[in-house]
Every structure is written in structure tokens, then in C-alpha cells.
């Protein structure tokens, strides 16, 4: 699933391409992607000019000239691609690469914006009032924002219970972190994903806070992680996969050469990759 670094990369790379562009036509072959429904979306989006593009958590937000919004959550396998043409309609040509998983297209007055989604789990919503949209309002602080101070992080942990991996994944507590970066953050901090939040020591909490900032910033600079479906708007892959220490490295020696091996455990329907010798 595209997480904060992937979504931030998508937004920053689309900004110069789609701001000021008018939406001429909307196409889909999968109406279940749309909230509240495709007809409402089509009526609200067609003829509008894209005034702004931003990110909140894992959501991409387009502000329209009407003052209303389009929100795209790419879910498990979604990527927003920008190209100059469609031929045929289901094959978005972006960076010269054909893509057979296009299920939503905004035809702009210059270029096209297309959603590729292998599993068709993405969400595309037309929102009259963003501040009143429940999924948006429930999101926790942005981990790279000024609002996310060490004091705020301590407050979040104090009010939380259960395993630290679960807390990092909770979008209502901290927005934007998913499986990839929670694994890498916890490895960087030498904290086990199975540690109970309330049992973290003060020093560990400080190190963990710094690791969140460090890993997410580094991943943004590398344009995100492409280990499966995620692609940048150009169709190119992100480069952070080569920096991954534990995610999807089950059975490999610990990169710290501590003598341990990376393990993968499942809990609560999610997986965790970690070194049981390094991370306590």
C-alpha cells in the first residue's frame, strides 16, 4: 500500500502537471471505486479546474475551482499516473509503458490523470466539504509536521495501549505510516514490534520519535518504495527499496551483523518484519 512517502512523491510530482488544468471528461469501468457514487462524482468534477493538490495521511486531495474536493486513497495496489494519451482506453501510456489496470481516468485539457489499481480497492470520493468528511477529520497528526512534537508523540503513546507496531499503524493516532515504514522505523530504533507501548522507556521513546522523522524523510528523498505495485506518476519506480533493512527480508541475516535473522510474524491481520536479537 502506498504510504506517506509514496503519496507525498505522487503529490509533489503531479503539482506542476495538473494544477490549472481543466477536467474535460471522466471515465471508469469500476463504479464501486466512487463515493458517494460515480454519477455524483462525474457531475461534480466535469468542467472544473484543479486549483490545488495536497496530501493528508495516505490521501491525495484535489481542490476544484468550485471549492469542492476530489479525494483519492490508493489503498493496496493503486497508483496515480500522468500521461499524454490513452490508446486504447484501458492502456494508459505513461513514460512509454502500457498499463492494463487503469480503472479511472480524468481527461484534462492537457494530458490525462489515470488510476492504476490491480485489485480495485482504491477509493475516489467527491467531497463538498472536506472539513466535514469523517475519514479526513479522524486522522492523527502528520509525523513530519511541526504539530508532531516529541511532547505530542509522548501524549499519543500515553493514551495508547497494546503493541507499538499497532499504534504506529493507527491512522487516527499518527497519519501516513503503514507496514513498510513501521517495520523500518522500529528496526532503526531497535524496538521490537511486539513491545507493549506502555512499557517503552523514556530513552526508547525519544529514539523512536527520531527514527520516525529520519526514515520518512529518507524515503521521500528516494521517491518512495516500489516492492510491488506502486509507481510514480511518470510510471517509474521509487528508489527506497534498496534501503530497506527488514521489510520483506524474512530469513536474511540482520543487516547489523548481530548474528540474528530477520523474522516475519503475523498479528492482528498484519505482518511485522524484525530482528529478534537487535530489537527488544
- List, by residue number, the catalytic residues: 2-3, 58, 270
Classify residue 142: in a domain, yes or no.
no
Give pLDDT tens digits for 181-211: 999 999 999 999 999 999 999 999 999 999 9
Tell me how many domains the chain contains.
Answer: 2
Spatial separation of the C-alpha atoms in residues 277 and 262, rounded to whole Å: 9
Q: Flag whether pLDDT at 91 surpasses 60.
A: no
Q: Flag whether pLDDT at 243 surpasses 90.
A: yes
* Of the residues 102, 137, 172, the one at which a domain ends: 137
69, 73, 78, 80 alpha-carbon torsion, rounded to 10°: 30
* Of the residues 103, 137, 171, the one at which a domain ends: 137
> Domain containing 104 — which CATH number?
3.20.190.10
Same domain, yes or no: 253 and 214:
yes
Classify residue 106: in a domain, yes or no.
yes
Classify residue 196: in a domain, yes or no.
yes
> Domain containing 161 — which CATH number?
1.10.8.50
Mean predicted confidence (pLDDT) in 80-89: 69
Give pLDDT tens digits for 6-57: 999 999 999 999 999 999 999 999 999 999 999 999 999 999 999 999 999 9
Q: What is the pLDDT of residue 63?
A: 98
Same domain, yes or no: 158 and 102:
no
Q: What is the pLDDT of residue 70?
A: 98
Same domain, yes or no: 155 and 130:
no
Containing domain of residue 258, as a range?
150-274
Mean predicted confidence (pLDDT) in 214-219: 98
To 5 degrees, how large is the angle CA 197–CA 225–CA 153?
25
Spatial separation of the C-alpha atoms in residues 70 and 108, rounded to whole Å: 14
Mean predicted confidence (pLDDT) in 226-252: 93
Q: Flag whether pLDDT at 84 surpasses 80.
A: no
Contact 197, 228 (CB under 8 A): no
Q: Flag whether pLDDT at 82 surpasses 60.
A: yes
Cell of 181: 515504514
Classify residue 207: in a domain, yes or no.
yes
Amino acid at each position: 500500500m502506498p504510504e506517506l512517502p509514496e503519496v507525498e512523491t505522487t503529490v509533489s510530482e503531479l503539482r506542476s502537471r495538473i494544477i490549472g488544468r481543466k477536467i474535460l471528461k471522466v471515465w471508469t469501468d469500476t463504479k464501486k471505486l466512487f463515493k458517494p457514487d460515480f454519477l455524483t462524482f462525474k457531475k461534480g468534477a466535469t468542467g472544473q479546474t484543479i486549483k490545488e493538490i495536497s496530501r493528508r495521511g495516505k490521501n491525495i486531495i484535489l481542490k476544484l475551482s468550485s471549492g469542492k474536493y476530489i479525494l483519492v486513497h490508493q489503498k493496496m495496489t493503486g497508483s496515480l499516473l500522468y500521461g499524454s494519451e490513452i490508446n486504447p482506453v484501458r492502456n494508459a501510456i505513461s513514460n512509454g509503458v502500457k498499463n492494463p489496470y487503469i480503472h479511472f481516468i480524468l481527461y484534462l485539457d492537457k494530458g490525462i490523470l489515470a488510476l492504476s489499481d490491480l485489485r480495485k480497492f482504491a477509493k475516489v470520493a467527491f467531497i463538498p466539504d472536506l472539513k466535514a468528511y469523517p475519514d479526513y477529520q479522524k486522522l492523527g497528526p502528520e509525523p513530519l509536521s511541526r504539530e508532531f512534537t516529541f511532547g505530542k508523540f509522548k501524549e499519543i503513546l500515553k493514551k495508547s495501549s497494546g503493541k507499538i507496531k499497532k499504534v504506529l499503524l493507527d491512522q487516527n493516532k499518527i497519519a501516513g505510516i503503514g507496514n513498510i515504514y513501521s517495520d523500518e522505523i522500529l528496526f532503526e530504533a531497535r524496538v521490537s514490534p511486539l513491545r507493549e507501548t506502555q512499557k517503552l522507556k523514556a530513552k526508547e521513546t525519544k529514539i523512536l520519535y527520531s527514527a520516525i522523522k529520519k526514515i520518512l524523510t529518507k524515503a521521500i528523498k528516494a521517491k518512495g518504495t516500489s516492492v510491488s505495485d506502486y509507481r510514480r506518476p511518470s510510471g517509474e519506480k521509487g528508489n527506497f527499496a534498496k534501503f530497506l533493512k527488514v521489510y520483506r527480508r524474512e530469513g536474511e541475516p540482520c543487516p547489523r551483523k548481530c548474528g540474528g535473522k530477520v523474522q516475519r510474524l503475523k498479528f492482528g491481520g498484519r505482518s511485522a518484519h524484525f530482528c529478534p536479537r537487535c530489537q527488544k
